Structure 1
Amino acid sequence: MSPILLQGGSGAIVLLFGLLMLLVQIAIIVWVYSDAQTRSDQPAFLWAIVVFFAPFLGLVLYWLLGRNQ
């Protein structure tokens, strides 16, 4: 097989992986927002913004600091 043909398929895989990561990030933002509305004293939209700008770190910070025990 020609290397040129093999290179053409990798773009679709990268695109699908990127779309999957985008959907996961949006789902995490929506979950944090809805969970913060019921379980946090801080404004829910601020936690959603934190998770938007720093997805993994924001999720960990929300889990440790944002939720009421």
Structure 2
Amino acid sequence: MSPILLQGAAGVAALLFSLLVLLVQLGIVVWVYSDAQKRSDQPAFLWAIVAFLAPLLGLVLYFLLGRTR
């Protein structure tokens, strides 16, 4: 196989992986925001910002500190 074709396939795979990561991150932000509106005494938009800036850490912090009800 041609090295150029392999490089193109790697680029497409990297793009698809990046889109998947972006979708998961946005899903985490939306879920944290909607859940914080229902179950947190703190502002939901602040938890959404934390989840956006550090998705996995923000999700763990939200579970440990943000959910009160």
Name the TM-score, length of structure 1 as normaliser. Answer: 0.94
Q: CA RMSD in A?
A: 0.9
- Alignment of 1:33 onto 2:33: yes
Mapping of 1:17-56 within 5 angstroms? 17-56=17-56
Report the Cα distance in structure 2 between the residues aligned to 1:36 and 1:64, rounded to whole angstroms. 12
**Same amino acid, percent of matched pairs:** 75
Give the superposition deviation at 1:6.
1.3
Runs of 4+ in 1 over 4 A off after TM superposition: none
Between the two proteins, the alignment pairs up a number of residues equal to: 69
Structure 1 residue 4 displacement after superposition: 2.3
The alpha carbon displacement at 1:2 in A equals 2.3
Unmatched runs of 5 consecutive residues or more in structure 1: none
Aligned position for 1:63? 63
Show CA shifts across 1:3-61 (max 9, x none): 22211111000000000110110011000000000000000000000011111111000
TM-score (norm 2): 0.94
